[in-house]
Amino acid sequence: MRLLDAVVQGCLLGGQYALFAAGLSLMFGVLKVVNLAHGDLGILAAFAAIGLAAGAGLPLALAVGVVLVGMLGIGAALHAGLLARTTGALPQISMIATFGLSVVIGNALQEVFSADPRALDLGWFGTAGVSLGGISVGLLPAAVLAVAVLALTGLHLALTRTAFGRRVRATADDPGTAALVGVDARRTYLVVTALAVGLAGLAGVAYAASSLVTPLAGPSRLIFAFEAVVIGGLGSLWGTLLGAMVLGVAQSVGSVVDPSSGVLVGHLVFLMVLATRPAGLLARARVRA
Amino acid sequence: MTDSSSTPANTPGPLPVRAAMDRRSLLRGAAALGITGAAGSLLAACGGVKSAGGSSSAAAAGGTQTLRIGYVTPSTGFAAGFGEVDPFVVEQVTKAVSKGLTIGGTTYQVRIEVKDSQSDPQQAAKVANELIASGVDMLVTSSTPETVNPVADAAEAARVPCLSTVCPWEAFYFGRGATPDKPFTYTYHFFIGVDDLAVVYKSLWLNGVPNNKKVGVLWPNDADGNAIRAGLGPILTKAGLTVVDPGAFPTGTQDFTSIISTFKKSDVEVVNSFAIPPDFATFWKQAAQQGFRPKIATIAKTGLLPEQVEALGDLGPGLTAGVYWHPSWPTRSALLGLSSADLAAAYEKSSGNQWTQNLGTTTALLETAISALVSSGSPKDRTAVANALGKTSIDTVVGRLDWTSGPVKNVVAEPLVGGKWVEAEDGPFPLDIRIVENSGYPSAPVAAEDTALS
């Protein structure tokens, strides 16, 4: 029973990781860029939503909506202003550029919002739970998991079933050849980056509702998202969902055995996957996104 | 990416280990607390000693001289919340001594120079050594071992008198390698210790809201958590409480299900947390989602500042926490001519922010420093000022500070009372902390009866 409970809670935790990992996975799959500022962009969205809702008094749904649209814009600007200049060059260059961005965002947030921890208050919904056969399931984590699954499914369908998806896959495979047949690689990259940063924003808002956020919390979010992507298989969206679940369950079950090693067990599973299946769990069945 | 610590690793909570217990627990606690202290002292040893004795303004001509007090405090970084009151207090104190101090026939102007430690031990040591090198006559410092210990180490090494607060005194004393046989010469401190915490906790849990005396503890795997486990745990057990300790969880844990189910299974009705604010928030929200609601939750490290409790939303009111200064205390600052209540009101009016407990300690810190400079009779003589600190006995807003009767030389143990966060009945701020038990400091009026969490 205790184990079952841990597995259920681990899956719910995995939902949070999956949401953070979705954008990271998408960007790596298409642009081959590891965006080290992904976690910080999420935290930026969280603080923006808190600022609009608690500070400016906007209704919560409107504040979140405004922030998500804003994040799409920031993503487009990020590509146009930074990544377009670094993609194609050595992969290390875009990595260092996003690392710098991560430092800038964290410290800028600290300057504006101070070091105080903050949260997005969802009222009763944030703390409500239902009991399913003796296992308590929080409504908020369940909603986050549902959003993560929806986002990844939607992305998967968009990439495999639409004309836009075809262009994205073509660009991901070979931007040169895609350009020959009239696909504007630069525009495709821009749209994908905007989507990925929008997803980071969604994940950041969900995180701010589940816990507290501090301006420098970004990199610790990035680590778990990155592990989920690698466990599942780089560039595979279903793999990312699976990787996030594996990581969440490993942490949760690990802490049933010993509360001091839950996070450690998660890291160990990550290393085990790297050692035995370096391409990730779903490497073969991978969607070439 | 290595700097992934989103979070204050060592916010000042009240904590460490009680000395007298037994030698082993003492050593363990001291070792745990020593990490930051050691880093600080290395730096101090590098940069501090050579600047000893450089008192630049000592030779100033004429009847007026300047006394310089260097104040190292976290204005930015994770502990920045503690430094929020500094500009106000420094301004008030500077105004109060603007006519100068007449000591032994000489009139001295007083200048307080504030330096930001960025909540970081290395930066704290660096700015302390800069102040020492520029010839300050005295150092004062406040808020968390990360700032206090390196500054005190630099001062001790350079033989500059230093007064500090808002760091559990065991961390200041044993954490920096002092023993009752080998105390410090230049560095003095006042703040609560583990014994004061135990007094409040026993009173809240044994004599307050009726409960089954089963205490579930959320003590993380960090220096403070482990020091509390070694120091406070045995005291609670001896007092007749059952401590349910699911184990030391790592900072940054995202899923507290196993801890929550241990608490549920053990029928825990009291929760005590030393987790950093984001971890406590994660735990507390998951506890609510999973239907675990204890009768009492007493928190350290998270419950000190109103913003930290406000961030918990509906789950904030009802939490209990230690209080080391409150506007309702019947105390006053002779230097500022303000009672505790007036001090809080003046701060809120001037800054627009809600008072914090550091308003009391910072005011007491600067007032005591000035009092020691005066009573030394020779404020440019560093040994005389240090000796004066050791003989100081003064009434401040945080109560009487008497270094002649402390638990150890160099230290005054400040009293602690228990407070409960409630929704404010009036005023511009959403929350208010009310005193619900005062066994450690009976002069503090009890304002509300403690009630079980709903």
For B275: left if phi > 0, alpha if psi spans -120 to 50, otherwise beta; the answer is beta
Distance CA B19, CA B405 (A): 16
Residue B138 pLDDT:
97
CB B112 within 8 A of CB B96: no
Same domain? For B114 and B132 the reply is yes
* Chain A residues touching B259 at Cβ < 8 A: 255, 259
Residue B127 inside a domain? The answer is yes
Secondary structure class of A57 (helix, strand, coil)? coil
Residue of B6, B146, B301 to mutate for A, most A C-beta atoms under 10 A: B6
State the number of CA atoms in the 13 A half-sphere of B161 facing the CB.
Answer: 26
Contacts of B64 by beta carbon, 8 Å cutoff, 6+ apart: B100, B106, B107, B108, B109
Nearest chain B CA: its distance from A200 CA (Å): 17
Tokens of B289: 């989602």
Q: Do A219 and B4 touch (CB under 8 A)?
A: yes
Least reliable range by pLDDT among A221-225, A230-234, B83-87, B151-155: A230-234
Domain count, chain A: 1
Least reliable range by pLDDT among A8-22, B4-18, B164-178, B391-405: B4-18
Percent of chain B's residues with pLDDT above 70: 86
* Closest residue in A to B315 (Cα–Cα): A127
Residue A58 inside a domain? The answer is yes
* Closest residue in A to B81 (Cα–Cα): A116
Residue B254 pLDDT:
87
Same domain? For B292 and B431 the reply is yes
Cα separations (Å) of B28 from B36, B144, B175, B229, B250?
15, 20, 10, 11, 19
Residue B40 inside a domain? The answer is no
- Could you say which of B81, B249, B252 has the minimum Cβ distance to residue A115? B81
Residue A175 inside a domain? The answer is yes
SS (H, E, C) A185-203: HHHHHHHHHHHHHHHHHHH
Query: pLDDT per residue over B199-210, tens digit each?
Result: 999 999 999 999
Residue A288 inside a domain? The answer is no
Residue B110 inside a domain? The answer is yes
Residue A257 inside a domain? The answer is yes
Mean pLDDT of chain B: 86
Q: Is the pLDDT of residue A288 over 50?
A: no
Q: Do B281 and A99 touch (CB under 8 A)?
A: no
Residue B163 pLDDT:
98
* Domain CATH code at residue A173: 1.10.3470
Nearest chain B CA: its distance from A262 CA (Å): 8
What does the angle CA B20 – CA B26 – CA B28 come to, to the nearest 5 degrees? Answer: 165
Query: pLDDT per residue over B207-265, tens digit each?
Result: 999 999 999 999 998 777 888 898 899 999 999 999 999 989 988 888 898 899 999 99
Same domain? For B261 and B333 the reply is no
Which is more confident, A86 or A23?
A23
Distance CA B421, CA B432 (A): 6
- Could you say which of A6, A216, A221 has the minimum Cβ distance to residue B258? A6
Query: pLDDT per residue over B283-338, tens digit each?
Result: 999 999 988 999 999 999 888 888 889 888 888 999 999 999 999 999 999 999 99
CB contacts under 8 A, B 214-243 vs A, are 221
Q: Do B221 and A260 touch (CB under 8 A)?
A: yes
Nearest chain A CA: its distance from B54 CA (Å): 36
- Could you say which of B258, B289, B308 has the minimum Cβ distance to residue A129? B289
* Domain CATH code at residue B289: 3.40.50.2300
Same domain? For B61 and B164 the reply is yes
- Could you say which of B6, B262, B311 has the minimum Cβ distance to residue A119? B311
Same domain? For B282 and B349 the reply is no
Q: Do A262 and B249 touch (CB under 8 A)?
A: yes
* Closest residue in B to A248 (Cα–Cα): B255
* Chain B residues touching A131 at Cβ < 8 A: 291
Query: pLDDT per residue over B355-407, tens digit each?
Result: 999 999 999 999 999 999 999 999 999 999 999 999 999 999 999 999 998 89
Q: Do A115 and B281 touch (CB under 8 A)?
A: no
The answer to whether residue B368 neighbours chain A at the CB level (below 8 Å) is no
* Chain B residues touching A258 at Cβ < 8 A: 247
Q: Do B311 and A115 touch (CB under 8 A)?
A: no
* Closest residue in A to B118 (Cα–Cα): A115
Per-residue buried b or exposed e for A99-126, using 16+ beta carbons within 10 Å of the residue's own CB: bebbbebbeebbeebbbbbbbbbbeeeb
Residue of B144, B219, B258 to mutate for A, most A C-beta atoms under 10 A: B258
* Chain A residues touching B282 at Cβ < 8 A: 210-212
Contacts of A191 by beta carbon, 8 Å cutoff, 6+ apart: A76, A164, A168
ipTM over 0.90: no
Q: Is the pLDDT of residue A207 over 50?
A: yes
Q: Find where tokens 């969206």 sit.
A: A237
* Chain B residues touching A13 at Cβ < 8 A: 254-255
Same domain? For B387 and B421 the reply is no
Q: Is the pLDDT of residue A74 over 50?
A: yes
The answer to whether residue B277 neighbours chain A at the CB level (below 8 Å) is yes
First to last CA, chain B: 42
* Chain B residues touching A251 at Cβ < 8 A: 254-255
Strand partners, B333: B338
Q: Do A140 and B289 touch (CB under 8 A)?
A: yes
Average pLDDT over residues B178-188: 94
Contacts of B102 by beta carbon, 8 Å cutoff, 6+ apart: B108
Q: Is the pLDDT of residue B23 over 50?
A: no
Tokens of A154: 């939607």
Residue of A12, A44, A132, A212 to mutate for B, most B C-beta atoms under 10 A: A212
CB A78 within 8 A of CB A201: no
Q: For strand B187-191 and strand B411-413, is the pairing parallel, antiparallel, or unpaired?
A: parallel
The helix (run of H) or strand (run of E) holding residue A129 is: strand A129-132
Q: Do B1 and A127 touch (CB under 8 A)?
A: no
Same domain? For B54 and B114 the reply is yes
The boundaries of the domain holding residue A81 are 2-112+136-276
Q: Do A138 and B286 touch (CB under 8 A)?
A: yes
Percent of chain B's residues with pLDDT above 90: 66
Q: Is the pLDDT of residue A131 over 90?
A: no
Q: Do A13 and B311 touch (CB under 8 A)?
A: no
Same domain? For B293 and B430 the reply is yes
Residue A88 pLDDT:
65
SS (H, E, C) chain B: CCCCCCCCCCCCCCCCCCCCCCHHHHHHHHHHHHHHHHHHHHHHHHHCHHHCCCCHHHHCCCCEEEEEEEEEECCCCCCHHHHCCHHHHHHHHHHHCCCCEEECCEEEEEEEEEEECCCCHHHHHHHHHHHHHCCCCEEEEECCHHHHHHHHHHHHHHCCCEEEECCCHHHHHCCCCCECCECCCCEEEEECCHHHHHHHHHHHHHCCCCCCCEEEEECCCCHHHHHHHHHHHHHHHHCCCEEECCCCCCCCCCCCHHHHHHHHHCCCCEEEECCCHHHHHHHHHHHHHCCCCCCEEEECCCCCCHHHHHCCHHHCCCCEEEECCCCCCCCEECCCCEEHHHHHHHHHHHHCCCCCCHHHHHHHHHHHHHHHHHHCCCCCCHHHHHHHHHHCEEEECCEEEECCCCCCCCEEECCCEEEEEEECCCCCCCEEEEEEECCCCCCCCCCCCCCCCC
* Chain A residues touching B7 at Cβ < 8 A: 117, 214, 216-217, 220
The answer to whether residue B444 neighbours chain A at the CB level (below 8 Å) is no
Q: Is the pLDDT of residue B5 over 50?
A: no
Residue A287 inside a domain? The answer is no
Residue of B244, B254, B293 to mutate for A, most A C-beta atoms under 10 A: B254
Same domain? For B364 and B284 the reply is no
CB contacts under 8 A, B 56-95 vs A, are 76-81
Same domain? For B183 and B316 the reply is no
Residue A63 inside a domain? The answer is yes
Same domain? For B183 and B201 the reply is no
Q: Is the pLDDT of residue B62 over 70?
A: no
Residue B369 pLDDT:
97
Domain count, chain B: 2
Residue A121 inside a domain? The answer is no
Q: Is the pLDDT of residue B58 over 50?
A: no
Residue B25 inside a domain? The answer is no
Residue A76 inside a domain? The answer is yes
What does the angle CA B189 – CA B125 – CA B91 come to, to the nearest 5 degrees? Answer: 65
Same domain? For B307 and B378 the reply is no
CB contacts under 8 A, B 278-317 vs A, are 278, 281-282, 285-286, 288-291, 305, 307-308, 311-315
Query: pLDDT per residue over B259-274, tens digit each?
Result: 999 999 999 999 999 9
The boundaries of the domain holding residue B176 are 49-193+328-413
- B63 pLDDT band (50/70/90 cuts)? low
Residue B131 pLDDT:
97
- Could you say which of B6, B80, B247 has the minimum Cβ distance to residue A258? B247
Tokens of B83: 């430094």
- B10 pLDDT band (50/70/90 cuts)? very low
Q: Do B255 and A216 touch (CB under 8 A)?
A: no
* Chain B residues touching A116 at Cβ < 8 A: 80-81, 305, 307-308, 311
Q: Do A36 and B308 touch (CB under 8 A)?
A: no
Average pLDDT over residues B99-103: 93
* Chain A residues touching B246 at Cβ < 8 A: 259
